[in-house]
Amino acid sequence: MSVEYKNRKAAELLGFFDEGIPPQLYSYWRKEIGHHMVIQDSAGPSRASGRRWKIFLRSMWTLRTLAPRARENIMQDSVMQECHAILALDVAKKIRSSQQAANKAVKQATDAYQRRCLQGASGEMSSCSEVDPDETTAAVEQKPISDSERLQTT
């Protein structure tokens, strides 16, 4: 049985494809649960401990984008709980894959920049400084200084 078929059947059992349910609801649910996974660093049981993953899944039973039939019955229905977990694992797998691709691209860009700096324009050592991603992130995350703070420092 293919992963796509298994996911489709799980989504059907949860009620995402019931009559009258907008077709985009499933996509919205995937985006919403994915957003929560990234925020809580819970992209699957491999990232979160098994207990933390189960707690995360239970907290996602109340998402407004979950199909109405699932929202009503998931707490008592173990089959629905399993279907929910199957779909959540698929989202987690895609998030991890996306994060790995982003990390690879950042590393390649940093390596290319450092190689360019080492070679310089005429083949000699350039004055480029080494890029430290932690320092760059910290600089971006600093809040802007207000006018009153600026006046106090001068």
Residue 140: pLDDT over 70: no
Model pLDDT, residue 12: 92
**What is the rounded average pLDDT of the residues 114-133?**
63
pTM of the model: 0.62
For 61-73, the pLDDT digits (tens) are: 888 899 999 999 9
Q: How many helices (H) and strands (E) are present in the chain, helices listed first?
A: 7, 0
Tell me the C-alpha distance between 7 and 94, whole Å.
Answer: 13
Average pLDDT taken over every residue of the chain: 79
